[in-house]
Amino acid sequence: LLDTIKEVMSEGNNIEIRRFGTFKLKVRRARVARNPRSGATVRIGERVVPTFKPSNEFKKMIRITPDELKRKEKSIKER
């Protein structure tokens, strides 16, 4: 499935998986940034990046409270 998503998106297409979400390509405009080590100004050119937007149904399915998430993360770290 992931190989198919990569292949389709590399051709410039978007993908919608019903009840899960949508993978899209988005153009990020050029900008000026700063190198955190040297402090030098760096120009970052325009580029295309993949994005993912979860469907409302998917968001509802995984809805948990922040406290529940913290407990689950803590139990995973203890393993």
Question: CA-to-CA distance for 19 and 79, rounded, in angstroms?
Answer: 32
Domain boundaries, the chain: 2-78
Q: Quick check: 40 and 34 in contact, CB under 8 A?
A: yes
Gap between the terminal Cα atoms of the chain: 30
CATH for 2-78, among 3.30.200.210, 3.30.360.10, 3.30.1540.10, 4.10.520.10?
4.10.520.10
- Model confidence over 7-54: pLDDT tens digits? 999 999 999 999 999 999 999 999 999 999 999 999 999 999 999 999
Cα dihedral across residues 41, 44, 50, 51: positive or negative = positive
- Model confidence over 10-23: pLDDT tens digits? 999 999 999 999 99
